[in-house]
């Protein structure tokens, strides 16, 4: 099948790319304080045997981090831009916060606590369009949930998407409202009404990293550009492994200084 052949060809390219980086780093180890994740993985030792990871184990770790960490955050940002394009009031509030806190400079990690609305926007985008739109668990023994028998060994999927739009927990669930994520509003909700990063022992390991990265990217770009939808095609989710925008999000970047028709100063 051509698709399968293409998959293996692409996999070989990706593996070669990653194995080259590993070989290069083994030959020229990083020194000093500025070590990156690859060095940490290469230096990691099994506590009991003292053994390090071989190339394939390092490759597997890197692939996990690249795949789990790239597409999810990219999805989150795409949906956030989409929502901002639909809601000019929120966009103005975002630009106001960024202007007041950053005044045109690049954000750093220490700015994040001062950008609450920027973070609320991302949280609301994660609610409406959770990139990981379902999570699964294997039932290790027989159980019953809400009257439904769960046989041992079955796969149970929890829909983050539906939970995030459940009217018992979210008033007007389909409406965009970043103020659902003020500390007061958050405190009034059951913990698992919102689970974009999953929950329990297998909670997303990149949770804080993703929110930090997305906040910094949004704060950097939104100071300079507004992304307007390039056409009137409906924007719909494509529920694959992650919740992509079907066909990609077509946008036009406008410098923030440009007035948007209908905007009041």
> Interface residues with ligand HEM (CB under 6 A)?
64-65, 68-69, 72-73, 76, 131-132, 135, 196-200, 202-206, 209-210
Single out the residue of 234, 250, 196 nearest to residue 73, CA to CA. Answer: 196
**Catalytic residue chosen out of the listed positions 181, 197, 215, 242:** 197
Which CB, 205 or 256, lies closer to ligand HEM?
205
Structure tokens at 92: 């103005």
**Catalytic residue chosen out of the listed positions 72, 80, 118, 215:** 72
Q: Note the Cα 238 to chain centre separation in Å.
A: 16
Question: Does 197 qualify as catalytic in the annotation?
Answer: yes
Least distance (Å) between residue 115 CB and ligand HEM? 17
Least distance (Å) between residue 29 CB and ligand HEM? 22
Q: Is 72 helix (H, G, I), strand (E, B) or coil?
A: helix
Least distance (Å) between residue 226 CB and ligand HEM? 22
Residue-wise burial string across 162-173, b where 16 or more C-beta atoms lie within 10 A, e elsewhere = ebbeeeebbeeb
Task: Give me the phi and psi of 24, to 5 degrees please.
Answer: -60, -45
Least distance (Å) between residue 255 CB and ligand HEM? 27
CA-to-CA distance for 8 and 74, rounded, in angstroms? 24
β-pairing, 237-239 vs 243-245, is: antiparallel
Question: Does 80 qualify as catalytic in the annotation?
Answer: no
Strand partners, 229: 251
**Catalytic residue chosen out of the listed positions 73, 204, 215, 242:** 204
Which CB, 79 or 117, lies closer to ligand HEM?
79
Question: Does 204 qualify as catalytic in the annotation?
Answer: yes
Catalytic residues: 72, 197, 204
């Amino acid at each position: 099948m051509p698709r399968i052949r293409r998959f293996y060809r692409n996999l070989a390219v990706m593996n070669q790319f990653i194995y080259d980086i590993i070989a290069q780093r083994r030959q020229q180890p990083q020194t000093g304080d500025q070590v990156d994740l690859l060095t940490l993985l290469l230096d990691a030792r099994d506590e009991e045997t003292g053994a390090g990871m071989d190339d394939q184990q390092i490759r597997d770790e890197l692939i996990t981090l690249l795949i789990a960490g790239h597409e999810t955050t990219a999805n989150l940002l795409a949906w956030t831009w989409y929502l901002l394009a639909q809601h000019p009031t929120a966009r103005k509030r975002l630009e106001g916060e960024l202007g007041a806190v950053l005044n045109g400079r690049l954000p750093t990690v220490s700015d994040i606590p001062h950008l609450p609305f920027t973070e609320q926007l991302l949280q609301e985008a994660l609610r409406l369009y959770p990139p990981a739109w379902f999570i699964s668990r294997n039932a290790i023994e027989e159980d019953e949930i809400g009257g439904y028998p769960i046989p041992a060994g079955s796969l149970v999927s929890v829909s983050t998407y539906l939970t995030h739009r459940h009217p018992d927990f979210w008033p007007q669930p389909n409406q965009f409202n970043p103020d659902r994520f003020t500390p007061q509003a958050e405190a009034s909700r059951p913990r698992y009404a919102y689970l974009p990063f999953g929950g329990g022992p297998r909670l997303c390991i990149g949770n804080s990293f993703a929110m930090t990265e997305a906040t910094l990217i949004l704060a950097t770009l939104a100071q300079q550009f507004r992304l307007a939808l390039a056409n009137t095609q409906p924007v719909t989710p494509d529920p694959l492994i992650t919740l992509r925008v079907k066909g990609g999000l077509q946008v036009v970047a406008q410098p923030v200084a440009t007035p948007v028709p209908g905007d009041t100063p």
